[in-house]
């Protein structure tokens, strides 16, 4: 049987007998040896190291618990003594500078860090490596007046000025190098600063526009609504009803008209608007027109003002000219989002412009138009003008005031015009200036019907309007500036360097009815009686309490 190496109490070599215990396992089965001392008692003497199986036996599979393994092992003491002294484990692994490993940083003395051996042979963690090369500096050496505290390990740590939590390794500070915060807190701070800057600029722009509205008399008011009481009195008719509603009724086949009272707003007509529309139709052969045009570039190189243009020009200062200007200006303000939208679900053109292909810079025009118009007659011969209005928009060529050859359907202003048109009648019931613009369109349709069908109108009908008042010849341009913030670094926001795109709108009111034909022979009859005094429409009732104006929503 071959000899086996094994441990024994004497440290010698033993040969196992046949069927006996292997010598190298005898150390585990031999009884412990005790040395009895009179003072200290028995002492245990551990077995020598040679009694344990070598580690190489486990690694190579040469030793298996509960099984005899035949293995010849020879250890050369001389070879073991010839091995050089080994380096610490972490340094032995990092054979070359720049190689990362898990170890202890020689600068901050923090263990279990990913360290890199520097050129000087020392190990540095990521943060200390950047500081050692000069790429970064310790934040507490840069920040002034930072909040500090001692943690549970009695180490001095910095605290975030925003949330009060420990800062960690990555620290951000403001321009003055006073407030030290986390990266997330700095991002929230930058966003808040950008929002505050944009809100401040928008508030300043809104204040400037309010000053313009007061200086140029912009905004629809109740006193702008013409009354029916005075014009009816000029025609020899006293209105007894408090609401001031009146309509026009035919007198048989004599081609003459008379004013009668009514309670139906659909048949109601504003006499002053009708008088002005008759004058325009008789003198110009068309309907009233208004537009806001740019002022001469020589007189206004920065294009800060817009000129009011009326056709005919004598409409300036009249009630018809005022309602067209106010309605047009209000439409542009609504489209730019300067006021709350009149109907639920409506949004400004800027909400449509987000991510739109129209780009940040564009000029366009938007204006009111008449889509449908007709005049019906009730059973008691009351004329009922009916119009359907809408809004259209066109994109302008950049740098000029000419319409682009093609306006895309997805243009933000085109989308807003379509949305406004779909809800026009509902908006007219909520917004007074839009309602009275529609009343002017109804009066224009009625004037075209009367003149085209040969109804006579004496001079009294053409001079029912009140005297013209003072009117501003210009109005501030309509614009809106969309901001885009820029930042010079992760820890600052340069609000003074904010840039934006300026978009300007043009347009007006076009009440043209040239495409409509009003033939009395083809007029539809409506099964309704609308006159309050239909039995005798020419009879005058007892004068009632007069009202200052037409009803206002």
Residues 116-128 have pLDDT tens digits of 888 788 888 877 8
* Residue 124 contacts residue 115 (beta carbons within 8 Å): yes
For position 125, what pLDDT does the model report? Answer: 85
Listed in sequence order, the DSSP H helices in 285-411 are 319-335, 349-353
User: What SS3 state is found at 367?
Assistant: strand
From the list 145, 380, 435, 385, the residue with the least C-alpha distance to 267 is 385
CB atoms within 10 A of CB 367: 22
What six digits make up the tokens of 170? 């990555």
Please tell me which residue, 72 or 40, carries the higher pLDDT value: 40
Contact 417, 392 (CB under 8 A): yes
d(C-alpha 237, C-alpha 538), whole Å = 9
Q: pLDDT digit string (tens) for 417-440? A: 999 999 999 999 999 999 999 999
Nearest CA-CA partner of 289 in 417, 433, 441: 441
Read off the pLDDT of residues 321-338 as tens digits, 9 standing for 90 and up.
999 999 999 999 898 888
Is pTM, for the whole model, over 0.75? no
The string of DSSP letters for 466-535 reads: PPP----SEEEPPEEEEEE---SBTTB--GGG-EEEEEEEEEEEE---TT----GGGPPEES---BTTTT
First to last CA, the chain: 121
Q: 11-15, 176-180, 219-223: which has the highest mean pLDDT?
A: 219-223
Q: How confident is the model at residue 281 (pLDDT cuts 50, 70, 90)?
A: very high
- More reliable by pLDDT, 515 or 454: 515
H or E segment to which residue 247 belongs = strand 246-250
More confident residue, 161 or 371: 371
Identify the band that residue 392 occupies on the pLDDT scale cut at 50, 70 and 90.
very high
State residue 502's pLDDT score: 57
**Dihedral, 103, 109, 110, 116 alpha carbons, nearest 10:** -40
Contact 244, 229 (CB under 8 A): yes
pLDDT digits over 130-160, tens only?
Answer: 777 776 666 666 666 677 777 777 677 778 8
Query: Token pair for residue 56?
Result: 């190489």
């Amino acid at each position: 049987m071959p000899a086996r190496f094994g441990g024994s109490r004497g440290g010698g070599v033993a040969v196992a007998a046949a069927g006996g215990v292997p010598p190298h396992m005898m150390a585990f089965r031999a009884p412990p040896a005790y040395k009895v001392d009179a003072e200290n008692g028995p002492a245990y003497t551990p077995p020598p190291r040679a009694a344990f199986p070598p580690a190489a036996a486990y690694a190579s599979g040469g030793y298996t618990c509960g099984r005899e393994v035949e293995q010849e092992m020879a250890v050369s003491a001389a070879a073991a003594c010839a091995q050089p002294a080994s380096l610490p484990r972490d340094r032995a692994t990092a054979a070359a500078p720049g190689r990362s490993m898990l170890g202890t940083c020689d600068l901050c003395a923090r263990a279990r860090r990913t360290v890199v051996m520097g050129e000087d042979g020392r190990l540095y963690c990521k943060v200390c490596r950047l500081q050692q090369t000069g790429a970064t500096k310790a934040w507490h050496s840069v920040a002034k007046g930072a909040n500090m505290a001692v943690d549970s390990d009695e180490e001095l740590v910095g605290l975030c000025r925003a949330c009060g939590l420990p800062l960690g390794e990555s620290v951000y500070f403001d321009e003055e190098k006073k407030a030290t915060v986390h990266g997330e807190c700095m991002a929230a701070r930058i966003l808040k600063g950008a929002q505050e800057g944009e809100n401040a600029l928008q508030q300043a722009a809104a204040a400037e526009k309010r000053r313009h509205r007061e200086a140029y008399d912009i905004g629809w008011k109740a006193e702008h609504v013409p009354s029916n009481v005075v014009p009816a009195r000029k025609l020899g008719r006293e209105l007894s009803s408090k609401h001031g509603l009146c309509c026009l009724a035919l007198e048989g086949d004599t081609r003459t008209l008379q004013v009668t009272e009514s309670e139906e707003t659909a048949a109601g007509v504003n006499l002053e608007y009708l008088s002005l529309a008759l004058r325009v139709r008789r003198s110009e052969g068309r309907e009233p027109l208004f537009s806001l045009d740019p002022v001469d570039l020589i007189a206004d190189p920065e294009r800060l003002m817009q000129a009011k243009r009326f056709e005919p020009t004598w409409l300036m200062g009249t009630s018809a000219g005022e309602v067209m200007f106010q309605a047009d200006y209000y439409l542009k303000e609504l489209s730019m989002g300067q006021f709350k939208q009149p109907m639920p679900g409506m949004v400004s053109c800027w909400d449509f412009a987000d991510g739109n292909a129209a780009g940040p810079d564009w000029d366009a025009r938007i204006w009111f138009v008449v889509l449908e118009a007709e005049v019906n007659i009730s059973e008691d011969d009351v004329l009922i003008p009916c119009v359907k209005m809408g809004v259209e928009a066109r994109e302008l060529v950049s740098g000029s005031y000419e319409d682009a050859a093609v306006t895309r359907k997805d243009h933000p202003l085109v989308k807003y015009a379509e949305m406004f048109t779909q809800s026009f009648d509902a908006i007219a019931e909520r917004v007074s200036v839009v309602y009275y613009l529609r009343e002017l369109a109804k009066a224009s349709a009625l004037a075209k019907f009367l003149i085209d069908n040969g109804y006579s109108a004496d001079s009294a009908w053409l001079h029912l309007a009140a005297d013209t008042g003072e009117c501003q010849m210009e109005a501030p341009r309509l614009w809106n500036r969309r901001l885009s913030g820029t930042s010079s670094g992760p820890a600052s926001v340069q609000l003074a360097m904010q840039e934006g795109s300026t978009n300007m709108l043009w347009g007006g009111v076009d009440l043209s009815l040239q495409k409509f034909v009003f033939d009395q022979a083809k007029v539809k009859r409506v099964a309704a009686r609308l006159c309050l005094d239909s039995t005798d429409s020419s009879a005058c009732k007892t004068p009632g309490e007069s009202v200052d104006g037409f009803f206002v929503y």
